[in-house]
Amino acid sequence: MSERAAYLRAAEQLKGNAGQWAAYESTGHCVVLAGPGSGKTKTLAAKVARMLAEDVHDPRGLACITFNNECARELEDRLAALGVEPSGRVFIGTVHSFSLTQIILPYAKTARLGLPDQVGVATQAQQKRALAAAYESTIGGHSDPEDERYPLNTYRRTHIDRSASAWRDTDPRKAALAEAYEAELRAAGVIDFEDMPRLAFAALKENAWLGQALFAKYPILVIDEYQDLGTALHRMVVGLCFKAGIRLFAVGDLDQSIYGFAGARPDLLRKLSEREEVETIRLKVNYRSGTKIVAAAQAALGEDREYEAADDDAVSEVFIEELGGHYPAQASELINRLLPEALGRHEGLGYKNVAVLYEAAWLGDEVLAAATAAGIPVVRNDKKSLYPRSSRLMQWIEQCSQWCCDGWKSGKPRFSRLAKGGHRLFAQALRTEERSLAFHRQLLTCLWERRDGADELSEWLDALNTAVLEPMAAACPDLNDEMDNFADFAALVSQGGDRSGMTLGEFAGVGDHDDRLTLTTLHSAKGREFDIVFMFGADELRLPGTAEKRRLFYVGFTRAKLEIILTHRTGSPSPLELIRK
């Protein structure tokens, strides 16, 4: 099927939904306010494919900015199914990646950003040394400089315009520490992640020609999860789209903004949607959840958004379970009684169709202990997961493992995707066609010779590291932290490690190992869906609270297709009582 035929077929599925079709047909600046389960990603992928085929002529393309690497990966998967692969015409990545690769590295010198010619990305060790030196020179004392990192980064993220008086006036102490810290980084020839959007904004603000240069390459800018991306991106969007002329297609949901601690500001999406030159479209039909869950979710939010279930007759239930004892006892009852009961209500479902959500990782510890005692396999997606879920390198290695476990036959994933993903990771080492071809051959040889899911993961990782990772990483200093993540994971699964004996199939989560119960925090569950969702320790959310707390509760509710089961300890208020207040 040709790329054009693929996206046209996908578009046919949008015609039955007025909002989706309006978004697909939009021709100017467009903001799509998409409720949970409303087919947002399907609509976005079809729209991107159409714009590439009809609105932008080769070699020009478009840039897609996402909230994190996992969002980028999902969008890549959707576009690949429509025949669109990442290429020089298509950028798909985070705002940090866009800032670094599309603005800072190509234009740092001509935009007079004051960076060294060969700027790198600071490792965690370099950041720690820089903060310690800056703390000593500006504040001093015996406190741990690392205690300053979170408030310092919050300040840097909030005040991105250093020419504004608010930068120094709001908190002179933090401003002085930030400037000293950044000076230490520059002396080492590096920038950190907080630098990236700020420097990109500064470059665009001070150099009008830069917006035109980006317009020449990417006449369309696509942004997913706009509500989570913060002030720096919003300021860039205003400049690029409403001054330089780049066309905007943005998608988001004000009610799913749950990353205020990382600088997310849902009000920026609202302001964007209210601009006169922007067409705003709302997606209100929920294809994921049944009527009862949709209604209960809006009650949890405390707002009536007029959302409706696509199928009024779809089976869905909301259960409230009061559990006695401390959290270990509650987790045991969830695993040994509530989970079998829920699965018994739905023939054909297994553990892979169920998620247990909680606010903090320590609650996940209790559920993990109970599941382990019951012999139930789990996959964990919080800060105590096997590896940081934000790691680009580890995500790519996981895809390689899936290819070795029958993915080479099914095409899920295709080798071409592994090769292109590796090329993006190791771009510094693959600057010539000869090196790229050699890398592809080396990767294929390594993976082809190790296609047995029963193999020990530690041996497979050793072979991949020797043949591919070490040679590539030696020429890619920006991957130092990523390689540290890999080393930590390799130690975990090696002989003597906490997860020694893990097989390749277990890591890949395929075949006999795909039926695993998902344990995840509410924050990490965003963007995912499950047939049955447990919200464990719902009383820990302490509702009513801030608006963001309610939104977090709402996100948890809207992950469920068939059932949402909320648990709370005996004697604490029922979650339903709390959300009514």
The Cα–Cα gap between 318 and 305 comes to 19
Give yes or no for a contact between 431 and 480, defined as CB atoms under 8 angstroms apart.
no
Q: Is 505 annotated as a binding residue?
A: no
Q: Give the residue among 319, 326, 358, 351 at the shortest CA–CA distance from 536.
A: 358
Report how many helices (DSSP H) and strands (DSSP E) the chain contains, helices first: 29, 16
Q: Is 432 annotated as a binding residue?
A: no
The Cα–Cα gap between 142 and 567 comes to 44
Report residue 424 as tokens: 């993006």
Give yes or no for a contact between 26 and 51, defined as CB atoms under 8 angstroms apart.
no
Give yes or no for a contact between 353 and 530, defined as CB atoms under 8 angstroms apart.
yes
Q: Is 41 annotated as a binding residue?
A: yes
Q: Is 36 annotated as a binding residue?
A: yes
Say whether 461 sits in a helix, a strand or coil. helix
Helix, strand, coil percentages, rounded to 5, for the chain: 55, 15, 30
Task: Please write down the long-range contacts of 367-370, taking CB distance under 8 Å and 24 or more positions apart.
Answer: 367/331, 367/334, 367/335, 367/519, 367/536, 368/519, 369/328, 369/331, 370/328, 370/331, 370/332, 370/334, 370/335, 370/336
Q: Is 37 annotated as a binding residue?
A: yes
The Cα–Cα gap between 38 and 36 comes to 5
The Cα–Cα gap between 69 and 399 comes to 14
Q: Is 544 annotated as a binding residue?
A: no
The Cα–Cα gap between 453 and 405 comes to 5
The Cα–Cα gap between 241 and 390 comes to 29
Q: CA of 110: how far to CAs of 143, 215, 218, 402, in Å?
A: 41, 17, 19, 43
Neighbours of 505 (CB within 10 A): 22
Indicate the annotated binding residues. 34-41
Indicate the annotated binding residues for ATP. 34-41
